[in-house]
């Protein structure tokens, strides 16, 4: 169940980064940066991080260059703590 959620939310993270990049190129209405960070914070950090570099999007904004990897690292640490408590005793 958790794996399914993470796959879906990370696919969404990748998609919103790609969609926002496409809208930026066309000078259309954009996805708010708060939304991009929210998707990352609720579990989509891998997808949004990959989307940043795959689409070369938001890579010049320091708060994305620092913030997205920080959220990803936090998720890895939280995941490791949960895993170690559940399976390593």
The arithmetic mean of pLDDT across residues 39-46, rounded, is: 98
pLDDT at 72 over 80: yes
**For 58, phi and psi rounded to 5 degrees?**
70, 20
Side-chain half-sphere CA neighbours of 71 within 13 A:
22
Rounded-to-integer distance, Cα 1 and Cα 79, Å: 15
- Of the chain, the percentage scoring pLDDT greater than 90 comes to 96
State the DSSP H helix or E strand holding residue 50, giving kind and residue range, or none if neither: helix 45-54
pLDDT at 54 over 80: yes
Q: Please, which pLDDT band fits residue 71 given cuts at 50, 70 and 90?
A: very high
Rounded-to-integer distance, Cα 86 and Cα 61, Å: 38
pLDDT at 89 over 80: no
Question: pTM of the full predicted structure?
Answer: 0.91
The arithmetic mean of pLDDT across residues 16-42, rounded, is: 98
Q: If we measure between CA atoms, which residue out of 10, 3, 80, 8 comes closest to residue 50? A: 10
């Amino acid at each position: 169940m958790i794996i399914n959620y993470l796959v879906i939310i990370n696919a969404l993270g990748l998609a919103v980064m790609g969609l926002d990049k496409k809208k930026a190129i066309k000078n259309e209405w954009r996805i708010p940066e708060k939304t991009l960070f929210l998707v990352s914070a609720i579990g989509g950090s891998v997808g949004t991080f990959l989307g940043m570099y795959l689409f070369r999007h938001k890579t010049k904004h320091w708060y994305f260059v620092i913030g997205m990897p920080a959220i990803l690292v936090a998720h890895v640490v939280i995941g490791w703590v949960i895993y170690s408590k559940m399976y390593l005793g």
